[in-house]
């Protein structure tokens, strides 16, 4: 990840959106508070948009109660809340005033958003620099997929703002330990699954993530850590994005759409194959112990196949150029055939350990 040097004219941008990403309990909130304080000492206006505080608690409970954290339904519901946060943020960037009307979609906690907006409008410590003072908006969330962070990048580009990212890096076991002491802990299995899926900023793969650094929060934060983040933000403020239009955004949207649609179709097909296999095993008298083993192995196989399929969709540009549905169909069918072959192998192994199969 590229380090950043502070340019001379850091006040050229009206504002900067800084994404803080990482696992739950990695230390994002502590870092955001320290950075916000440092920014205000420089005479900037600064505030934190904390997703945990804006998304209603019921949404967290629904997500934790979902037996399949990777289900299409769970992802769709969660995205609705995240989109509501960005929509309110965009309204603020457009008007730079307190919202006159409250959002009626229930996507966010409105009183929490109003407190956030008031913080964003708080005058800087030096009133004489009020008009020129940069506005720093720190977005505190997990942001474990690049597609989540890309939505913020698009918003920054639309309004010609600075954009940067800080990956708050922390060991999984330490995150788990910190999480247990929280008033509203995230289920341990959710954090473990998120750790498997987390994709830190990768400027080599995603050029739009060029202004990104990593901060290790396993130990206490040091002044040098805050300084590095402030230098990154200053660099982003001095190099605002241009709202140019080209096909990069469209290609990214096409890749994500193909990935979501293709993986969902493959997921449904694999689920049907699993159901058929479990039914056959049950009818042939397989023991409960072997049935549990069979279900576990089939589930793990499906997860591997779908993860590989999503990666293929995102990385293969040819699948999204021209909207060739036949190519997409072929890739989905190939993935399902691969799972079917693995399913047969798993069934054969289970049969060897069960004489009645």
Q: Which pLDDT tens digit goes with each residue over 161-192? A: 999 999 999 999 999 999 998 888 888 998 99
Q: Does 179 lie in the same domain as 89?
A: yes
What's the rounded Cα separation, in Å, for the pair 220 and 197?
26
Kind plus residue range of the DSSP H or E element containing 153? helix 146-158
DSSP 352: H
Of 74 and 48, more confident:
48
- Region of poorest pLDDT, from 154-168, 215-229, 310-324: 310-324
- Predicted confidence (pLDDT) at residue 204 exceeds the cutoff of 60: yes
Any idea what the CATH number is for the domain that residue 127 is in? 3.40.50.300
Q: Does 233 lie in the same domain as 279?
A: no
- Residue 7 domain-assigned (yes or no): no
Q: Does 339 lie in the same domain as 224?
A: no
DSSP H helices in 96-167: 110-121, 146-158
- Residue 357 domain-assigned (yes or no): no
CB atoms inside a 10 Å sphere around CB 194: 19
- Predicted confidence (pLDDT) at residue 64 exceeds the cutoff of 50: no
Q: Are 194 and 145 in contact (CB under 8 A)?
A: no
- Region of poorest pLDDT, from 10-19, 121-130, 266-275: 121-130
The residues pairing with 17 across neighbouring beta strands, listed in sequence order, are: 137, 163
Q: How confident is the model at residue 18 (pLDDT cuts 50, 70, 90)?
A: very high
Q: Does 23 lie in the same domain as 90?
A: yes
Q: Does 260 lie in the same domain as 296?
A: yes
Evaluated on CA atoms 200, 54, 156, 35, the torsion sign reads negative
| pLDDT of the residue at 12 | 42
DSSP 39: H
Average pLDDT over residues 39-57: 83
- Name the CA dihedral angle for 40, 181, 19, 227, rounded to a multiple of 10 degrees: 50
- Predicted confidence (pLDDT) at residue 115 exceeds the cutoff of 60: yes
End of a domain among 208, 237, 266?
237
Query: Residue 316: left if φ>0, alpha if ψ -120 to 50, beta else—which one?
Result: beta
- Residue 90's alpha-carbon distances to 49, 82, 152, 223, 239, in angstroms, are 12, 13, 10, 32, 20
Of 291 and 7, more confident:
291
Q: Does 230 lie in the same domain as 277?
A: no
- Name the CA dihedral angle for 157, 160, 162, 163, rounded to a multiple of 10 degrees: -10
Q: How confident is the model at residue 327 (pLDDT cuts 50, 70, 90)?
A: low
Q: Does 175 lie in the same domain as 122?
A: yes
Q: Does 113 lie in the same domain as 203?
A: yes
- The highest-confidence range among 26-30, 165-169, 271-275, 343-347, by mean pLDDT, is 165-169
- Predicted confidence (pLDDT) at residue 61 exceeds the cutoff of 60: no
Q: Does 259 lie in the same domain as 224?
A: no
The residues pairing with 212 across neighbouring beta strands, listed in sequence order, are: 165
Q: Does 40 lie in the same domain as 106?
A: yes
Q: Does 310 lie in the same domain as 329?
A: yes
Q: Are 2 and 204 in contact (CB under 8 A)?
A: no
Of 232 and 61, more confident:
232
- Residue 226 domain-assigned (yes or no): yes
- Residue 222's alpha-carbon distances to 147, 211, 284, in angstroms, are 30, 21, 63
Q: Find how far residue 357's CA is from the centre of its chain.
A: 44
Domain housing 158: 15-237
CB atoms inside a 10 Å sphere around CB 302: 20
DSSP 138: E
- Residue 8 domain-assigned (yes or no): no
Q: Are 154 and 163 in contact (CB under 8 A)?
A: no
Average pLDDT over residues 287-316: 84
Q: Does 84 lie in the same domain as 22?
A: yes
Total structural domains within the chain? 2
What's the rounded Cα separation, in Å, for the pair 99 and 50?
18
Of 97 and 68, more confident:
97
């Amino acid at each position: 990840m590229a380090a950043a040097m502070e340019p001379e004219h850091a006040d050229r941008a009206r504002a900067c959106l800084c994404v803080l990403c990482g696992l739950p309990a990695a230390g994002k909130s502590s870092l955001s508070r320290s950075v916000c304080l440092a920014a205000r000492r420089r005479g900037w206006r600064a505030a934190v948009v904390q997703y945990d505080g804006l998304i209603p608690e019921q949404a967290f409970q629904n997500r934790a109660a979902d037996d399949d954290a990777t289900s299409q339904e769970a992802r769709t519901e969660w995205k609705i809340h995240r989109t509501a946060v960005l929509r309110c943020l965009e309204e603020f960037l457009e008007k730079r005033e307190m919202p006159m009307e409250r959002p009626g979609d229930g996507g966010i906690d409105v009183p929490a958003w109003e407190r956030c907006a008031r913080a964003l409008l708080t005058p800087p410590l030096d009133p004489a620099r009020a008009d020129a003072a940069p506005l720093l908006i720190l977005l505190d969330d997990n942001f474990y997929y690049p597609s989540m962070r890309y939505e913020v990048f698009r918003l920054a580009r639309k309004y010609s703002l600075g954009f940067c990212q800080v990956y708050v890096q922390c060991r999984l076991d330490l995150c788990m330990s910190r999480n247990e002491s929280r008033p509203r802990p995230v289920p341990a299995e959710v954090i473990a699954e998120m750790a498997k899926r987390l994709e830190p900023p990768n400027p080599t793969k995603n050029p739009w993530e060029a202004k990104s650094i990593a901060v290790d929060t396993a130990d206490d934060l040091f002044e040098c850590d805050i300084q590095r983040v402030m230098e990154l933000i200053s660099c982003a403020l001095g190099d605002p994005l241009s709202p140019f239009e080209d096909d990069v955004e469209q290609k990214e949207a096409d890749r994500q759409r193909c990935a979501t649609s293709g993986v969902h179709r493959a997921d449904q097909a694999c689920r049907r194959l699993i159901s058929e296999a479990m039914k056959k095993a049950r009818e042939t008298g397989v023991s409960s112990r072997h049935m549990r083993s069979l279900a576990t192995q089939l589930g793990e196989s499906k997860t591997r196949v779908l993860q590989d399929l999503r990666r293929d969709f995102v990385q293969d540009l040819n699948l999204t150029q021209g909207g060739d549905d036949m190519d997409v169909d072929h890739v989905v069918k190939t993935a399902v055939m691969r799972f079917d072959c693995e399913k047969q192998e798993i069934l054969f192994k289970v049969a060897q350990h069960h004489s009645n199969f």
